[in-house]
Amino acid sequence: MNVNPAPDDLTRGFVLEGAPVSGRVVRLGPETIDPILNRHTYPPAAAALLGEALALAALVGASMKFDGRLMVQAEGEGPIGLLAAEYSSSGALRGMLRIDQPERVEAMGARASPRALLGAGALRLSIDQGPDFELYQGIAELDGDSLAACAERWFEVSEQVPSRLRLAVGQAGDPTHGNGWRAGGILIQRVAGDAARGDTDEDWSRARILFDSVRDDELLDPALDGAGLAFRLFHEEGLRVGDPGALLDACSCSRGRLQALLGRHPREEIDQLLDPEGLVTATCQFCARVYRFEPSQLIAASATEGGR
């Protein structure tokens, strides 16, 4: 049996055989959230918000039964103009923020509500199954005290599925892994009743009470893996835990894709993008990878696009 000594960067689904409940738990650590957040110099409250969004993307995205991407986005008129986190069915995570007023975010300290950071806006979860399928989107207002509360509202409005959700982000102070960022999340959802189950209101109520006992330190504890956390909460409910799914820090940007995108600009606009060395430099907002192009490469890409 292969035992993972560091129970991080994994997601696990579970069901309660004694109650109409399914759920999922996620743990993010040195292979996901820590490098993603350490690539940028986000103020603490902004980093915490993005960490929660990454955990949310993994929780919801890992439940997909098909290949695709789950995108968590929020836009508003507050000091953070854009929040984006993305999960792909390969387990890859990426995320970024656009901070328009860094001084205001810095003054908020380590924690702030989504509405304080993003202003009046909306939380959008989108599922992309590829070019052959229509993009699915659901929207909820950013009116909760936490991103988890906003996501619960999203499930209520967009999915009509009673849900409970908790997210936590913190720093372990581990000097081996940058700033030691960690995140955890847990989600439970009520399964639709049937004739065999009968009335399930009491079962769902009991599961919610057990769920509400979870603490942030349990979600972040490096010595407590996802299966152990689920067992601690629901061991008396006939808990059955699924196999773990690995998560990783991986961006979907590519040199070829960016070259094709820049190549759509007219020659005059390409000339305006040249740096002192006569090159066009572009940086991925997600992974901070820097790409540099000769103008001739972009003009050739433009000609290729035009000839299709």
Q: How many separate domains does the chain show? A: 2
Q: For residues 69 and 22, is the Cβ–Cβ distance under 8 A?
A: no
Output the CA–CA distances (angstroms, integers) from residue 108 to 105, 129, 152, in the order listed.
5, 38, 24
Q: What is the pLDDT of residues 120-171, one digit of tens each?
A: 889 999 999 888 888 888 898 888 889 999 999 999 888 888 999 999 999 8
- Tell me what percent of the chain is helix, strand and coil, each rounded to the nearest 5: 35, 30, 40
Burial class (CB in 10 A: 0-12, 13-18, 19+), 8: buried
Share of the chain above pLDDT 90, in %: 57
The verdict on 71 and 173 lying in the same domain is yes
Query: What's 261's domain CATH number?
Result: 3.90.1280.10
Residue 218: strand, helix, or coil:
helix
Residues 108, 205, single domain; the answer is yes
Q: Whole-angstrom Cα distance, residue 47 to residue 40?
A: 9
Query: Can you give the length of the chain in residues?
Result: 308
Together in a domain, 243 and 267: no
Query: CA 92, 96, 97 angle in degrees (round to 5)?
Result: 160
Tokens 């350490």 correspond to: 38
How far is it, in rounded angstroms, from Cα 170 to Cα 266?
46
**In this structure, which amino acid lies at residue 81?**
G
Q: pLDDT tier at 198 (50, 70, 90 boundaries)?
A: low
162 and 278 inside one domain: no
Task: State residue 175's pLDDT score.
Answer: 45
Q: Which domain covers residue 280, as residue numbers?
A: 255-306
99 shares its domain with 234:
yes
**Token pair in block for residue 96:** 């970024």
Extract the tokens encoding 62.
């890992």
| Between 18 and 246, residue with greater pLDDT | 246
Q: What is the pLDDT of residues 201-210, one digit of tens each?
A: 888 999 999 9
pTM score: 0.88
CATH code where residue 89 lies = 3.55.30.10
- pLDDT beyond 70 at 178: no
245 within some domain: yes
For 48-84, what is each residue's pLDDT tens digit?
Answer: 999 999 999 999 999 888 889 999 999 888 999 999 9
Per-residue pLDDT tens over the stretch 218-266: 999 988 999 999 999 999 999 999 999 999 999 988 888 888 888 888 8
